[in-house]
C-alpha cells in the first residue's frame, strides 16, 4: 500500500498510467460507506486514488474539527483489503494550500443557500476549494460521491461546470447499517443511548415516502415535526422536500413525487443528515 504525503510524488508515480483514473475524496474515518465507493472505483478504473485530508476550511466549528476522527494507519489497512494497488494521498495542509490558506470564493446560485448552507456557514465553499484542488491536480476521469451528502453532490456537479471540466461525477447509493442509519464518520460520536435513537431518522424518511403518495406536503411537515418533538435528546434542525436538481423547496401545492426529502437532526451533540428519493 503506497501512501503519498506529497502531490508531486504521487503525480510522478502515476505519470505513465494508461486508462481511466478514478478518485474517491475523503476526510478519513473510513467506514463501509467509503469502502463501497472505493470498491466500485477500483473496479471501474485502471488506477485510482483515495484522498484523505481533514479540510479545515469546511468546518465552521473548531470543536467539530478537533473531534473529527484521524487514524491513517487504520484507514490504510481497511483500503488495502480491497487492493494494495490503490494510491492513498494523505497530504498536510501546506501541500494543499501552501504556507497560507487563501480560500477561493464561488457562486453556486441557490445550491449553497439552503439546508446545510444555512446551518454550516461557508461549509460548501470550503468543500469546493479542496475539490477544485483535487480535480486540477490529478485530472481524474471519474470521481465518486455518496448520496448521503446529496447537497454536496449537487455542489460538486455545479463546480465541475464552473471549472469547465468534463469529469464524470458518479452518484452512489447511501450505505446503511442494519437498523437503517446512514453510515457516517460522525456516528462514532453517538453514545449507546443515542445510537438507539438515531435509526428513527431513516424510519421517518421511509414513512415520508409512503405519505408522499397520499398526503400533502403541509401534512407531512406537521407529522415529521410532531414525531421528533416526542423523542428526547432529538432536535429536528430541518425537514424539507426539495427539487433534486435545484434543491429549492417545493410549495405546499406542488406535486411531491419526483422530488427528494432532506432531514437534519441533532442527537445530543451530534448532527446527522439523511435524504430519500420520493419516486
State how far the Cα of 127 lies from the Cα of 9, in Å rounded to an integer: 24
User: What are residue 116's phi and psi, to 5 degrees?
Assistant: -65, -25
Cell digits of residue 277: 428519493
Catalytic residue (one of 17, 31, 34, 123): 34
Range 227-233, long-range pairs (CB < 8 A, 24+ positions): 227/200, 228/200, 228/204, 228/265, 231/197, 231/200, 233/193, 233/194, 233/197, 233/267, 233/268
CB 15 within 8 A of CB 47: no
Is there a catalytic annotation at residue 34?
Answer: yes
> Exposed/middle/buried for 215, CB within 10 Å: 0-12, 13-18, 19+?
middle
Catalytic residues: 34
Amino acid at each position: 500500500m503506497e501512501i503519498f504525503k506529497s502531490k508531486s510524488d504521487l503525480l510522478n508515480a502515476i505519470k505513465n498510467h494508461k486508462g481511466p483514473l478514478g478518485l474517491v475524496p475523503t476526510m478519513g474515518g473510513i467506514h463501509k460507506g467509503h469502502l463501497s465507493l472505493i470498491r466500485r472505483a477500483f473496479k471501474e478504473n485502471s488506477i485510482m486514488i483515495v484522498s484523505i485530508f481533514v479540510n479545515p476550511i469546511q468546518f465552521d466549528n473548531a470543536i467539530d474539527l478537533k473531534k473529527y476522527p484521524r487514524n491513517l494507519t487504520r484507514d490504510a489497512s481497511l483500503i488495502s483489503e480491497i487492493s494494495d494497488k490503490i494510491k492513498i494521498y494523505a497530504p498536510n495542509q501546506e501541500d494543499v494550500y501552501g504556507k497560507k490558506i487563501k480560500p477561493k470564493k464561488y457562486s453556486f446560485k441557490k445550491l449553497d443557500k439552503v439546508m446545510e448552507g444555512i446551518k454550516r456557514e461557508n461549509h460548501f465553499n470550503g468543500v469546493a476549494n479542496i475539490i477544485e484542488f483535487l480535480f486540477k491536480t490529478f485530472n481524474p476521469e471519474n470521481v465518486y460521491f455518496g448520496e448521503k451528502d446529496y447537497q454536496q453532490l449537487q455542489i460538486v456537479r455545479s463546480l465541475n461546470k464552473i471549472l469547465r471540466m468534463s469529469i464524470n461525477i458518479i452518484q452512489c447509493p447511501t450505505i446503511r447499517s442494519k437498523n437503517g442509519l446512514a453510515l457516517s464518520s460522525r456516528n462514532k460520536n453517538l453514545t449507546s443511548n443515542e445510537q438507539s435513537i438515531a435509526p428513527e431518522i431513516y424510519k421517518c424518511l421511509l414513512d415520508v415516502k409512503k405519505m408522499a403518495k397520499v398526503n400533502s406536503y403541509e401534512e407531512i411537515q406537521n407529522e415529521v415535526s410532531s414525531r421528533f418533538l416526542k423523542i428526547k435528546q432529538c432536535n429536528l434542525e430541518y425537514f424539507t422536500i426539495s427539487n433534486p436538481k435545484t434543491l429549492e423547496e417545493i410549495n405546499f401545492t406542488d406535486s411531491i413525487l419526483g422530488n427528494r426529502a432532506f432531514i437534519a437532526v441533532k442527537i445530543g451533540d451530534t448532527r446527522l443528515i439523511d435524504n430519500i428519493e420520493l419516486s
